[in-house]
Amino acid sequence: MKKILFPVIAFFFLLLNSYTSAQVKIIKVWPNKIPDSIINKNYKEQDFSNENGIYRISKVTEPTLSVFISLKGNGTAVIICPGGGYEHLAYQKEGVDVAKWLNKIGVAAFVLKYRLPSDSIMKNKSIGPLQDAQEAIRIVRRNSKTWNVNPNKIGIMGFSAGGSLASLLCTHYNDKIYDNDSTSAKPDFSIFLYPVISMRAEITHMGSRINLLGKNPSDKEVKYFSSELNVNSKTPPAFLALAENDKTVPLQNSIDYFLALKKFDIPSELHIFQSGGHGFGLGKKGETESYWPDLCENWLRALKIL
């Protein structure tokens, strides 16, 4: 009896898992030519796990979208930008794992493996990641019928330096930074976890700033890439969550962005947890930072995005 029961139980859990989430495929962001790219055969993508077993990707040369379609989809979609200081991508912890959570609440998820700033493969390393993010939104919007997505319910989500990229998309979605079609690159909403928002020296994460802008950026560059300085009445609504004891990215990044949004009465929520530090991802079960997914889901429902 036990020999029969075990495979039945195993099959049940496999079926249960596939009910909520299915990774459809990985697609190229730029199936033809990558804009402003420099061919460098010595520059090759690397993947590795750090001392804590966290899977990371660096030296991205071919941007991709990993497509996770929820089998109980509600028409909402989110593009996820993992963090890593514009040096690597915490692809599993702040990408795939988050996509699976979004699938559970009926949201189609797309993990963006974006190019990391590098003079070795880009004519303008500061713009490369934003080009990938703009095109990622356009890809999802163009293929909304195929993926059963509402083209008016496509959001962007970013962790740490991925939050910098997500916020840049929210404030520069209309900038012509490559030869694109008329498809809108504007996110309909945004979600930020312990984000780098500003490039101002007094509050930025200096590693992210140096990787994106170099050691001596101009005042004009600092202003352009500081999203809190570029919010206007058309900036998408935002949900922000971070920990008070974050020793990596100053809290002021999120606070200033939230206050800029409130100046224009843009619907937003800011949650500062007592603990969690930096890079908590979905959070440890039972810890305060693990509450953010429920809070985020409630916020999305309040805005009628879910």
For the stretch 175-190, pLDDT in tens is: 999 999 999 999 999 9
Mean pLDDT over all residues of the chain?
A: 93
Q: What's the pLDDT score for residue 223?
A: 98
Distances (CA, A) of 171 to 59, 127, 128: 26, 14, 16
Distances (CA, A) of 92 to 36, 283, 297: 28, 14, 21
Q: What's the pLDDT score for residue 21?
A: 63
Q: What's the pLDDT score for residue 28?
A: 98
- How many CA atoms, within 13 angstroms, populate the side-chain half-sphere of residue 114? 37
Q: How confident is the model at residue 22 (pLDDT cuts 50, 70, 90)?
A: low
Give 3-state DSSP helix, strand, coil % of the chain, rounded to 5: 35, 20, 45
Q: What's the pLDDT score for residue 52?
A: 72
User: Mean of the pLDDT values across residues 20-33?
Assistant: 84
By C-alpha distance, which of 301, 194, 305 is closest to 246? 194
Tokens for 123?
A: 């004519």
pLDDT at 227 > cutoff 90: yes
Longest distance between any two alpha carbons in the chain, whole Å: 73
Tell me the pTM. Answer: 0.92
Is the distance from CB of 297 to CB of 241 less than 8 angstroms? no
| Burial class of residue 73, CB neighbours in 10 A (0-12, 13-18, 19+) | middle
Q: Which is it for the CA torsion 178, 140, 21, 285, positive or negative?
A: positive
The 10 Å Cβ neighbour count of residue 49 is 10
pLDDT at 128 > cutoff 80: yes
Q: How confident is the model at residue 301 (pLDDT cuts 50, 70, 90)?
A: very high
pLDDT in tens, 277-295: 999 999 988 899 999 999 9
Query: CATH says 22-302 is which class?
Result: alpha beta
pLDDT at 300 > cutoff 80: yes
Q: What's the pLDDT score for residue 6?
A: 40
Q: Provide the residue type at 224 as one letter.
A: Y
Q: How confident is the model at residue 20 (pLDDT cuts 50, 70, 90)?
A: low
Q: What's the pLDDT score for residue 285?
A: 87
Distances (CA, A) of 60 to 45, 120, 195, 240: 5, 11, 21, 27
User: Mean of the pLDDT values across residues 116-135?
Assistant: 98
